[in-house]
Amino acid sequence: LTRDEKDTAAHGRNFHLREPPGTSVVITVTASTSSGVQVWYTLAAGTNITPVQYHLLPLVLSRRLSEDVQDWHLFREVEPLRVVGKFCSWKADQDGLTLSLQEPLDCKHRWRKHQLSFRMRSNEVKFQIISDKLGFQWRIFPRRNQRSGVLGASDEESIIAVIGHKSDGHGRCFKVREPFLTIVTLCVWVEAVCSDCEQEEASGGFPGMEPPMTAGNIRVFYTIQDADPQVAIGRHELQYPPGPVSSLDRTILEIMTNPDARRRFFVLQQNLPLVRALNGLVERQTKTPVLELAIAEPPLRAARVAVMLMLRPRTLTNGLEVFRTYLRYHLLARHGPRFAHVFVFIDEPTGPEGSSVPAGDGADRLNEEEDENEHLAQWLDSADARDLRSLVTLLDGSGPASAAAPPGRRPSDLDAKVRAAAAAGEILAKQMLNMERCLALAEAQDIDWLLCNLDADEAFLCAKGHVVGELFAAVAPAIWQLQVLNHEAAHEEPEPSADFFLNCTLFKRSQLQLGESPTDEQRRCMTFWGARTAVAANAAAAAVTPRKGEGVLAGGSGRAIFRPTEGYFTGYFNGKYAVRVAACREVGAYPEDIRCWSVPDAAVARLDPEEACILHYHNCQGAAGLLRKYGARTEERWNNTKFHSLCQQLYAAGCNALDGLLKTGLVLSDDDGGEVAAQLTAGGVVGATKQ
């Protein structure tokens, strides 16, 4: 202590001795150059309560231990030891992570040897070592400048570790770096220090009792052994008990460790024709196995699941208010999915002469809007959004910013095409690049799963009683990509209120959920929606002159562009995908489109829609909403959904074409009440409660 500290530093910092009243004790204080100062007590002779006990008490006056100070807890107060890390969310009670003790406790054994065998589920595992009894109040971490914590594969390459308390050692982890599926045995050797053992043993001390031995030097290393692992550990995942090595595991190992196999894998990806890739995606939609989740009771540690989306606030009527509902529902609502984080990539299109949207019907109203982007950032900084602030990240998602996505393993010619399109303003290309950016951000924030492009007109709905983290925690480690099916809103009102999340309750069930063999009644239900959309769309298209390079829509060719079977959903029908962040980062997966990632088909599954689904509030903001939306999307070319392309051309044609299409092709009439009731009975549509 310094001179100024001597009089005040120890105030209120007392040793505590707890025994029944009337107990006689002997307090002992020893000092030595080798082991410092130790304080303990014993029960006096003749006491009939318990055998002689030793309690070493901490004597460090500063709250933070220096790296030259040892801890004075007895081994029996500390052991067993356990490992903790991101793979168990730094929780100190995860099964399977306790180290076993290899040597008995006595004065003849200088080193206490602890071991844990585990299988590598990634090429690096980071961890610290703590007491199973004291938790983070007693933990082991590397000394500074000790090879950045990277352990050696023998005792000759061991790292000298130090002991700290809860406030020590943040960010200083041990690291094991070995190939995927390697079985390693972690070895933690703790020196047993007993400065008075020789003297006491010679005089017959410690009869049948534990000597006052504490931890001295600590050495940490690992060995590679052909042993049965106790657990399997990856960067962000844990298997206990460890599952068998699957064929997918062996394939991944071959690609990761064999340069020839890795080269063949990427050559195959690069040479795959686009048409084959598209066919594969279509086939995946119909043949993806439905995953049956077994939710543990009580639930397992919830996975950290995040969402990313591209946002154009001005394309939403009352956009800021709608997006507030989106954020509060997905992050905080009592019956909502409770995502861990939302990454928002802001993208605002620019029209001629710097206007927010191209000139045309409705553009004047758009240009009168205030800067919603700035308002969103200001709102997140306000007291009203205090509970959301740490859960939302706003990023620039525009073309120049999206180009910051690092070069991945996408074939070079396709990558060049995507980047060029993003620079030119193509939103789908920007979405693909921002998906890659977000995957890296998610890994840095310890996110387990990332759901991509859950748009501002969509809501993620979980089965009653569960949150999304509990559902995803039950997914087998071999699954890297999950498809979540979407249901599409059925328009009950031509001009619903501005916040569609609060008033749209009727949804058409995903046609993929109906399966390959829908019943006759389900076919009739689908045809009802498809036919009314097709009639209105074909009538509107007949009066439109197609844009250059887009082909004839209708009229001139005499051929209708919509068949009744094609208009059931006016938007996408194949759901959205969530990916396992660590696995995709490890193998360098990249987006194949704005939904799917380049992962093996065997690692893809579909969530049962009864467990979780997406409600798509497609075009639910009335005629004004359609004008806003398509005023900002006239230059898109990659989205070839028929209804979307038609709306683009109707917007360009002006007049009231979009309004007419909405009212005749999408909105229910007063005479449709009986049909809706019949469809609800048949299972063709599902109702959703107001959230």
Strand ranges (DSSP E) for 485-575? 486-489, 506-508
Buried b (16+ CB within 10 A) or exposed e, 327-353: bbbbbeeeebbbbbbbbbbbbbbebee
Note if the bond before 241 is cis, omega within 30 degrees.
yes
| pLDDT score of 285 | 46
- The CB density around residue 148, as the number of other CB atoms within 10 Å, is 11
Q: Which two tokens stand for residue 529?
A: 């929606």
Q: Tell me the three-class secondary structure of 58-109, residue by residue.
A: CCCCCCCCCCCCCCCCCHHHHCCEEEECHHHCCCCCCCCCECEECCCCCCCC
One-letter-per-residue 3-state SS of 624-691: HHHHHHHHCCCCCCCCCCHHHHHHHHHHHHCCCHHHHHHHHHCECCHHHHHHHHHHHHHCCEEECCCC
| CB burial string 51-81: b at 16+ within 10 A, e below | ebbbbbeeebeeeebeeebbbbbbbeebbeb
pLDDT per residue over 557-613, tens digit each?
A: 444 567 776 778 888 888 999 999 999 998 889 998 888 899 888 889 999 888 899
> Roughly what angle, to the nearest 10 degrees, separates helices 520-542 and 673-682?
140
Query: What is residue 509's DSSP assignment?
Result: P
- Tell me how far apart the alpha carbons of residues 145 and 162 are, in angstroms, rounded to a whole number: 12
Measured distance between the N- and C-terminal CA atoms of the chain, rounded to whole angstroms:
60
| DSSP H or E stretch at residue 401 | helix 399-402
CB 312 within 8 A of CB 347: yes
Which mean pLDDT values do the consecutive 10-residue runs of the chain (691 residues) have?
63 76 80 71 54 34 34 74 92 92 64 91 90 88 77 87 78 88 92 60 48 75 89 90 83 76 62 44 54 63 94 73 91 93 82 37 42 75 90 88 77 86 88 93 95 94 88 91 92 74 85 71 79 82 61 44 76 92 90 89 88 90 77 77 80 74 79 78 56 36
To 5 degrees, how large is the angle CA 318–CA 323–CA 327? 160
CB atoms within 10 A of CB 561: 21
Domain ranges for the chain: 75-239, 288-687
- Note the pLDDT tens digit of each residue in 669-686: 777 778 877 777 766 665
The reported pLDDT for the residue numbered 218 is 87
pLDDT at 322: 86
Rounded to 5°, the CA angle 157-159-160 comes to 135
